């Protein structure tokens, strides 16, 4: 059985790492924190893995690093649901899916001392800058920053050097390509920024169709990004959406009701690979309604995506490609009068559950997602009603 460890008393940042292979990346992030003088006691690592993985080795790594943390395989997650009286909601976190990062959000929600969360993918490494400190600075940001908009109501987070590399990230609608980009500056008040999206060098985060067009059959893309491809940090204008990738992302606790990583992979429609993309669409809508911002740019990470068949990724993505073109339009005016994240999210869920989407291939999946969004909110409510579980 997985060991249970007490969380550090000073930990206010929950670092969520979904992993089945390269969990040793955690060493690089902890080394980065120590090298740049970031207070390690603020960090609590939650490794979300599977029963077939070497949980003992992951636990040993955390002990060796001297950091607070826990490892949750499938069995341990079921125990956690039972301990918190939310077994009926276990289905909201799909097993063996990148969307199991949602378990980390539930874990955070059950412990109100966590003020911030950070998602880190296990195929990334930090650049030589204060990784955790920069994310915290971004979340505390106040002042002037570049604002980006387009005539297609979508912002390409790789826009700054797009004339050279021509890249659009995974999840960017094909119908929004060829956009006209406008930039200016906007004054952002301290407290407006609720999410900090760090971008990525080396392997760009592209979908399989774009990787094939880039001439790569191993799922990686021939075109690579470097630090030179990224200029000033920026925010997307109100009414403009952007892709939100969870490989390098910090956020405030308050967004969790509107930041569920959507159920993917294990469904009758075979829709996968849009969990973080669609969660980002919903979060951006909530931010626009509530007057909040998503900060984009640094800290950068190095994305070292392992080689795999591009056609495998295509198989996992193709069932949802058409839906991805239309999701943002369906929720674009939902929850306009809401005054909280849960209220906006509930309105978006209603839009998906109550809509008729027969004109789209796999359109019924929207209703499936909407029902899970409702269950997500119910699960968060249930956790709020459950007394905290004492550390063993």
Q: Is the pLDDT confidence value at 209 over 70?
A: yes
- In-domain check, residue 291: yes
- In-domain check, residue 85: yes
Closest by CA position to 55, among listed 79, 69, 73, 42: 73
- In-domain check, residue 5: no
**What is residue 311's predicted lDDT score, i.e. its pLDDT?**
96
d(CA 280, CA 194): 12
**What is residue 392's predicted lDDT score, i.e. its pLDDT?**
45
DSSP symbols for 117-130:
EEEE-TTEEE-SS-
Q: Is the pLDDT confidence value at 387 over 70?
A: no
Write out the two tokens for 344. 């906006």
d(CA 102, CA 305): 21
- In-domain check, residue 392: no
| Cis peptide upstream of residue 326 (ω within 30 degrees of 0) | no
pLDDT in tens, 320-370: 999 999 999 999 999 999 999 999 999 999 999 999 999 999 999 999 999
**Percentage, residues of the chain above pLDDT 70:** 96
Closest by CA position to 71, among listed 83, 57, 59, 53: 59
- In-domain check, residue 4: no
- In-domain check, residue 222: yes
Q: How many residues does the chain have?
A: 392
pLDDT in tens, 256-292: 999 999 999 888 999 999 999 999 999 999 999 999 9
- What value does the mean pLDDT take over residues 164-190? 97
Residue 16 phi, psi dihedral angles, 5° rounding: -105, 120
Distance of alpha carbon 388 from the chain centroid = 26
Give me the residues paired with residue 252 across strands: 116
Distance of alpha carbon 21 from the chain centroid = 19
**Sign of torsion, CA 127 131 135 141?**
negative
**What is residue 266's predicted lDDT score, i.e. its pLDDT?**
83
d(CA 190, CA 23): 34
pLDDT in tens, 120-162: 999 999 999 999 999 999 999 999 999 999 999 999 999 999 9
Could you tell me if 305 and 244 are in contact, meaning their C-beta atoms sit under 8 angstroms apart? no
Q: What is the pTM of this model?
A: 0.95
Tell me the pLDDT band of 9, cut-offs 50, 70 and 90: confident
13-18 and 43-48 beta bridge pairing: parallel
> In angstroms, how far apart are the furthest CA atoms of the chain?
57
Q: Is the pLDDT confidence value at 4 over 80?
A: no
**What is residue 389's predicted lDDT score, i.e. its pLDDT?**
52
Domain hosting 76: range is: 13-385
End-to-end CA distance of the chain: 13
- In-domain check, residue 167: yes
**Which string of b and e fits 133-144 if b means at least 16 CB within 10 Å?**
bbbbebbebeee
- What's the structural domain count of the chain? 1
pLDDT in tens, 220-243: 999 999 999 999 999 999 999 999
Write out the two tokens for 261. 């990583």
- Residue 350 half-sphere exposure, CB side, CA atoms within 13 Å? 9
- In-domain check, residue 326: yes
Tell me the pLDDT band of 21, cut-offs 50, 70 and 90: confident
Tell me the pLDDT band of 385, cut-offs 50, 70 and 90: confident
């Amino acid at each position: 059985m997985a060991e249970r460890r007490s969380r550090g008393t000073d930990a206010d940042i929950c670092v969520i790492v979904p992993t089945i292979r390269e969990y040793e990346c955690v060493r690089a992030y902890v080394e980065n924190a120590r090298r740049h003088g970031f207070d390690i006691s603020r960090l609590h690592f939650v490794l979300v893995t599977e029963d077939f993985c070497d949980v003992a080795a992951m636990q040993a790594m955390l002990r060796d690093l001297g950091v607070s943390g826990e490892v949750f395989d499938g069995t341990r997650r079921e125990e956690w649901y039972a301990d918190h009286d939310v077994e009926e909601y276990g289905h909201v976190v799909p097993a063996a899916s990148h969307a199991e990062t949602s378990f980390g959000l539930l874990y955070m929600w059950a412990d109100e001392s966590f003020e911030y969360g950070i998602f880190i993918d296990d195929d990334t490494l930090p650049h030589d800058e204060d990784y955790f400190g920069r994310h915290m600075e971004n979340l505390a940001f106040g002042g002037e920053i570049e604002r980006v908009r387009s005539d297609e109501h979508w912002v390409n987070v790789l826009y700054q050097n797009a004339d050279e590399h021509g890249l659009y990230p995974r999840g960017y609608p094909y119908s929004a390509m060829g956009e006209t980009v406008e930039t200016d500056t906007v004054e952002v008040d301290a407290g407006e920024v609720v999410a900090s999206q760090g971008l990525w060098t080396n392997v760009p985060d592209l979908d399989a169709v774009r990787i094939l067009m880039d001439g790569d059959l191993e799922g990686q893309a021939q075109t690579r990004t470097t630090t030179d491809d990224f200029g000033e940090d920026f925010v997307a204008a109100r009414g403009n959406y952007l892709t939100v990738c969870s490989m390098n992302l910090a956020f405030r606790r308050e967004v969790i009701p509107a930041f569920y990583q959507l159920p993917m992979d294990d469904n009758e429609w075979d829709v996968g690979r849009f969990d973080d993309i669609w969660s980002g669409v919903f979060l951006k809508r909530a931010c626009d309604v509530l007057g909040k911002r998503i900060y984009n740019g640094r800290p950068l990470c190095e994305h070292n995506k392992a080689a795999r068949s591009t056609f495998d990724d295509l198989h996992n993505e193709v069932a949802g490609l058409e839906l991805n073109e239309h999701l943002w339009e369906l929720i674009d005016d939902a929850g306009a009068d809401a005054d909280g994240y849960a209220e906006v999210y509930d309105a978006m869920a209603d839009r998906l559950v109550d809509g008729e989407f027969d004109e789209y291939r796999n359109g019924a999946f929207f209703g499936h997602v909407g029902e899970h969004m409702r269950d997500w909110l119910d699960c968060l409510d249930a956790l709020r009603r459950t007394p905290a579980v004492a550390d063993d």
